[in-house]
Structure 1
Amino acid sequence: MASNPTPDNPDILRALCTRMAKGCKMHEVPLGIKQNTEAVMLAAHGGLSAAETALGLRKKEVAAAYDALQAADNAGFSMLTDCKLRIAKLYGQRWNVNWEPTGFPNQSTGIPDDQPTRLTLLDALKNYFTAKPADESVDMGATAALCLAQHTAITDAQAAVDHAESEQTKAFATRATAEDALRKRVRGLIEELTIVLPADDARWEDFGLSIPANPRAPESVASVTASTLSNSRLDVSWPYATRATRYRVETFIVGVDTEWQNKASAKDLEVILKGFTVGQVVKIRIIAFNDGGDAPPSPEMQITVT
């Protein structure tokens, strides 16, 4: 229904589902709601909430795995430096035929810039020191065993990244499935209500929905949060307002504006604002609206652009 669209944003979807479940608790028995009951709605909500949490954990694991890989690669770079110093002590700093079996690429004694080539060089040096143990130096940290251990540490870290990313991909798919399931329940309950509730029945609002025949303006946005970003931008967010279908983001630059400016319109709960100057003091407020009109403005918040 035009006055009660199904939200696209998953955060708004979850917030609406919570209100709809409360409406079901009050009215599902007398109205004869059979398919999308309070229990069913809460279960779908819980499924998406759990999937969101799991995805957040998988993202954290991916970040940690990449940090561990970077640390292992840094240690590998240090070991290559030690090995280079050992070989240079034996055969000189410049490339010559004695460097050929070490595995340093492109007839250069330089340590490769890219991680895969550094990994290959560690393996080659492991083979070299195995074949020429007399060239090893425990004191200088240049041995076949040390090269093997570092090579293993990096490949293990790479495998951990691959596994973490695979689990994250699964978590994205699980969240998408859970979001789709919740959206179907929300849409299903709206459709069910169109059958059991007259279009002018006030009980629509008990479900967090607009009365189709007489939509009222939404509730006000309760608060606004803003933070500074690079290039004099502002990241602005706010909580869901019941019955809102869109939001206007208004700004007032202190000492510049004489009235509030309509800076952006959004369906979601966050926008990035730009076009400011460093040092400007900006007031921000949000106005929720729907087919029934505008809600009163949210509380104002103030921030200095950096």
Structure 2
Amino acid sequence: MSQNTLPSGINDLLLLAERIAQGLETYGPWLGITQIPAGEFGRIFDELGKAETAWSAAMSAKRYSQTRMAAADEALDAWLEKARLVMLLARGAKWSQRWIETGFTHRGRNVPKDIERRITLARRVVIFLALHPTFGVPFADVTAACGRSIYERMIQARAARDVAVTDCMSKKRQRDAAESVLRRTMRQVILILGASIMPADPRWLAFGLNQPVPGSRRTRHVHGRNFAGALAEPIPLPAQTQPDCQHTAAA
């Protein structure tokens, strides 16, 4: 293939960037590539590697926090169901105003599906059990102490999940920014090489790149482009030797 298109996947991109870094280290000084020194390219490459690692760790932390929150929510839901059955025995199956003090203020007396409402209900049930400990069922863990422990665990798990999600989003933005910088720098290196060496030069391969097909649209575009606005400084090229006109005329 004549085109040197950057990979879309991050792992393949890092592999190619590593090859380009090695090429700059080996051939950069000989080719006079001063716009992007090997050390600077290596720093940009390392930044993306670190950002990718940090984002992967943040994603793992987010998944773990979500698992913990799901387990805490399941435990809270199960405890509220048991508490509801206990209140049925205490207040009767028929709805009355006496149900309100237990925390089940709705006539349906169902456990809410919304997490925040479940936590609120658990708090009310715990208050009722704390004021009326005789209604508790210790062998079923339907007590004020057990209920408080369960809903506090849910609150902590949700807070940890929120922190993990926020951190993951931040790490993702940092990773995307580092990837954008590396991609832009890699494209600049490809353009510089296109102006520094011929399409058939085997040093393209040393940079992990394809040799452009001579005469292709891409090759003409690269070699005919003015890099003054795109690069930090002009590329030093060897001066061409001019023929001795006077000697030729005399001959």
Could you tell me the TM-score, scaled by structure 1's length?
Answer: 0.63
Kindly report structure 1 stretches of 4+ aligned residues shifted beyond 4 Å.
Answer: none
- 1:147 equivalent to 2:160? Answer no
CA RMSD of aligned residues (A): 2.4
Q: CA deviation at 1:32?
A: 1.3
| Other-structure match for 2:30 | 30
| Other-structure match for 2:14 | 14
Count of aligned pairs:
215
| Other-structure match for 2:113 | 113
Deviates more, 1:62-71 or 1:94-103: 94-103
Deviates more, 1:160-169 or 1:203-212: 203-212
- 1:44 equivalent to 2:44? Answer yes
Contact 1:94 1:109 in 2 (8 A): no
Partner deviation per Cα, 1:186-206 (whole Å, 9 max, x = no partner): 012112223322344332222
Name the CA distance, whole Å, in 2 between partners of 1:67 and 1:215. Answer: 57
SS of corresponding position for 1:18: helix
Q: CA deviation at 1:37?
A: 3.2
Name the CA distance, whole Å, in 2 between partners of 1:80 and 1:101. Answer: 15
**2:107 corresponds to which letter in structure 1?**
Q
Name the CA distance, whole Å, in 1 between partners of 2:81 and 2:213. Answer: 76
Contact 1:86 1:140 in 2 (8 A): no
Higher RCO (C-alpha under 8 Å, 6+ residues apart): 2
1:190-269 maps to which residues of 2 (within 5 A)?
A: 190-214=190-214
Name the CA distance, whole Å, in 2 between partners of 1:15 and 1:215. Answer: 29
SS of corresponding position for 1:208: coil
Partner deviation per Cα, 1:224-249 (whole Å, 9 max, x = no partner): xxxxxxxxxxxxxxxxxxxxxxxxxx
Contact 2:36 2:189 in 1 (8 A): yes
| Other-structure match for 1:83 | 83
Partner deviation per Cα, 1:25-73 (whole Å, 9 max, x = no partner): 3211211122323333333222222222221111111111111111111
Contact 2:58 2:168 in 1 (8 A): yes
Name the CA distance, whole Å, in 2 between partners of 1:110 and 1:85. Answer: 11
- 1:56 equivalent to 2:94? Answer no
Name the CA distance, whole Å, in 2 between partners of 1:138 and 1:211. Answer: 77
| Other-structure match for 2:221 | none
**1:99 corresponds to which letter in structure 2?**
W
SS of corresponding position for 2:49: helix
**1:64 corresponds to which letter in structure 2?**
Y
| Other-structure match for 1:96 | 96
Q: CA deviation at 1:215?
A: 8.9
| Other-structure match for 1:188 | 188
Name the CA distance, whole Å, in 2 between partners of 1:88 and 1:7. Answer: 63
Contact 2:99 2:105 in 1 (8 A): no
Unaligned runs of 5+ in 2: 217-251
**Are the structure 2 counterparts of residues 43 and 104 from structure 1 closer, same or farther at C-alpha, using a change threshold of 3 Å?**
same
The share of aligned pairs that are identical, in percent, is 27
**2:64 corresponds to which letter in structure 1?**
A
Name the CA distance, whole Å, in 2 between partners of 1:5 and 1:111. Answer: 56
Deviates more, 1:71-80 or 1:154-163: 71-80
Name the CA distance, whole Å, in 2 between partners of 1:13 and 1:66. Answer: 30
**2:115 corresponds to which letter in structure 1?**
Q
Name the CA distance, whole Å, in 1 between partners of 2:94 and 2:170. Answer: 50
Contact 2:55 2:168 in 1 (8 A): yes
**Are the structure 2 counterparts of residues 127 and 215 from structure 1 closer, same or farther at C-alpha, using a change threshold of 3 Å?**
farther
**Are the structure 2 counterparts of residues 140 and 15 from structure 1 closer, same or farther at C-alpha, using a change threshold of 3 Å?**
closer
Name the CA distance, whole Å, in 2 between partners of 1:106 and 1:205. Answer: 73
Contact 1:21 1:37 in 2 (8 A): no
Could you tell me the TM-score, scaled by structure 2's length?
Answer: 0.76
Unaligned runs of 5+ in 1: 217-306
More strand by proportion, 1 or 2?
1
Name the CA distance, whole Å, in 2 between partners of 1:45 and 1:126. Answer: 55
Name the CA distance, whole Å, in 2 between partners of 1:71 and 1:215. Answer: 63
Contact 1:3 1:215 in 2 (8 A): no
